[in-house]
Amino acid sequence: MMMHLAKLTGRRIKGSAFVLLLVCVSSAASPGQTNRKQLIRQARSGFYSLRRSGLVEFQATIKPNWATIAKGIESNSEGLKVLNGLHFWMSLNSDGKVTVSHRADVAPAGQQRSEDLNQIFSGMEEMITGFFGTWSSFMLTSPLPEVESEYDLASEGDGYLLSYRDGATRVATVMTKDLLITEMKISATDFNSSIWPHFTKSREGLLLTGYDANYQPTSGPGTTHLKVEISYLEAGGLQLPQTLHLQGSYNGTSFAVETAFEDYQVKKR
């Protein structure tokens, strides 16, 4: 269960957060034990799963759209030329761990330029690993707990409320009667967050095409509002991200990120 929560909560990038969920568990009529397991099994099977489709690992090239990310930099400026000379790659291994690598065409001149580039490298790494931390819970494995684990499933309004705990962390997932997730919430000791996922249907199950999310630390700065849009391409017979559009605000400061994923190398069972 801890791995499930770790993937759901994701990680923060500089000036934003890739996270989920808040919770308020209510009491309502619950389906019977057997029916409850059947519903969770059915709901889990309704999502597209890369592991179920045979994915072991993949690598891809990351292509940031610096003109979108670094607004205000002129297209023929020296700064944009430096940014376009930065190259990034990523890999997702058999354990779901994401690693980001980078290279610069030109070595930085001066301490300030070196520090600026290191900040870009670390920010890109946190953004990519954070995004895939959330994305993986929907596309690599499942956003729902294991069928035989401990949870409550209650009928509520026109759908269901799925709730469970992991230590001090409380999780709640709202689903329709058709078992489509409409909202997920987490309440932890240091943050509260919520996510509203968006899906499209495919022959192999529901694809995550984006999500809206709010992140609120219990103390200090870090309030984040996030809107993510994802498009897909087919690589090795699998649906994998093609473009990522991310926009939102961090402590009231707006940001926008656009990047593409190319040159996939996919290993399957």
Picking from 192, 173, 193, 191, the residue whose alpha carbon sits closest to that of residue 183 is 173
- Amino acid 86 reads L
Q: Confirm if 251 and 223 have CB atoms less than 8 A apart.
A: yes
E-strand ranges in the chain read 12-13, 16-17, 55-64, 86-92, 98-104, 152-156, 159-166, 169-176, 181-187, 191-202, 205-217, 224-235, 238-250, 253-268
pLDDT less than 50: residues of the chain? 1-29
Q: What is the pLDDT of residue 108?
A: 64
Q: What is the pLDDT of residue 23?
A: 26
Q: What is the pLDDT of residue 12?
A: 40
Q: What is the pLDDT of residue 39?
A: 95
Cα 253 to Cα 259: distance, rounded to the nearest angstrom: 20
- Sequence-distant (6+) residues with CB within 8 A of 240 are 50, 58, 60, 232, 233, 234, 261, 264, 266
